[in-house]
Amino acid sequence: MRRDQRSPKHDLILSSQYVVCEGRYNCRFEALDRTLRNLMSVTDQHKTHQPFSGKIVVLGGDFKQILPVIPKESRHDILASAINSFHLWSFCKVLKLHTNMRLLMSYSDQDEGEMKIFANWILDVGNGNIGSLVGDELKVKILDDLLITTTDDPLSHLVDFAYPNLLQNMSDYKYFQSRAILAPTLKSVEKVNDFVLTIFPVMEKEYLSSDTTCQADENEDVKQEWFTPEFLNDIKCSGLLNHKLTLKSGVAVMLLRNID
């Protein structure tokens, strides 16, 4: 944004009292700092020497998360990209959040107590306060009430644990609002979905996609014969439905995005 070109966005930045910037890459804050100094210098040249041109900036970030992924960069470069490697970090004041807002939404004293214990345990895991060092690995014991100890049919017991009396509650949308099964891979998600479908004693219906390449985007360097129907039908990735979609009457389907 050029400082000699006034715009509604320009005026909004000039009149703002503080700026909230979420992210873990210090390059974003570097760009924000330079932009504010450039814009604010129009009204006050002295502000070019102040961090973020004197405006209050909230830098959001969670240091317990893994470091940003920077392809083909060294360990030093990855560490240097973190927010606390920002050259203006010494001007920042770190504020820590201590109140678990989810606990305030509890419906009973028992739920609040259980969630508080779990929240404190999660914090201890993140801070490295619990666990035992075995070789080069830190092993943490999972709480007993979070484990499904039955091993003869783990998938069935997992579904029963997360969705008790599933068949009797299929038409109750509130039943699903407080339950979910999180999976690390798309393959695991597909396995859970396929198992849940087998629970319902109704006829299933299969729908197949029509996978063809778009001729309008044809590239001379790309051979059309590479994209065979078998190859296209076997693609499985995030944000794209599988080639075969199996549905049953009465089974809920959740759309994660608009497809119109």
Same domain, 79 and 31: yes
The DSSP H or E segment spanning 247 is strand 244-248
**Domain C-terminal end among 146, 161, 177:** 146
Within a 10 A sphere around the Cβ of 36, how many other Cβ atoms?
23
Same domain, 154 and 259: yes
Give CA–CA dist 132/41, Å, rounded: 54
Cα 99 from chain centroid?
21
Name the residue among 55, 9, 8 with its Cα closest to residue 29.
55
Residue 259's pLDDT is 59
pLDDT, tens digit, 9 for 90 and up, residues 219-238: 566 677 777 888 888 888 87
pLDDT, tens digit, 9 for 90 and up, residues 40-80: 877 777 777 888 888 888 877 666 776 777 788 888 888 88
Same domain, 204 and 129: no
Residue 159's pLDDT is 92
Residue 124's pLDDT is 86
> Residue 248 — φ and ψ, nearest 5°?
-135, 145
**Domain C-terminal end among 71, 91, 111:** 91
Name the residue among 52, 54, 65 with its Cα closest to residue 24.
65
Judge whether 49 lies within some domain: yes
Residue 6's pLDDT is 62
Same domain, 257 and 152: yes
Q: 195 is written with which tokens?
A: 């198992």
Residue 209's pLDDT is 86
pTM above 0.85, yes or no: no
Within a 10 A sphere around the Cβ of 212, how many other Cβ atoms?
10
Helix, strand, or coil here: 40?
A: helix
Judge whether 3 lies within some domain: no
Structural domain tally of the chain?
Answer: 3
Same domain, 158 and 231: yes
Contacts of 189 (CB under 8 A, 6+ apart): 183
The full DSSP string for the chain is --TTS--HHHHHHHH-SEEEEE-SBHHHHHHHHHHHHHHHTTT-GGGGGSGGGG-EEEEE--TTSPPPP-TT--HHHHHHTBGGGSTTGGG---------GGGGG-SSHHHHHHHHHHHHHHHHHHHT-S-EEETTEEE-PPPGGG-----SSHHHHHHHHHSTTTGGGTT-HHHHHT-----SSHHHHHHHHHHHHHHS-S-EEEEE------GGG--TTS-GGGS-HHHHHT--BTTB--SEEEEETT-----SS---
Q: Using DSSP bridges, classify how beta strands 204-208 and 244-248 pair: parallel, antiparallel or unpaired.
A: antiparallel
Place of tokens 């009396």: 165
Same domain, 142 and 44: no
Spans of the chain below 50 pLDDT: none
Q: 14 is written with which tokens?
A: 């000039």
Residue 215's pLDDT is 66
DSSP state of 183: -
Judge whether 6 lies within some domain: no
Same domain, 108 and 77: no
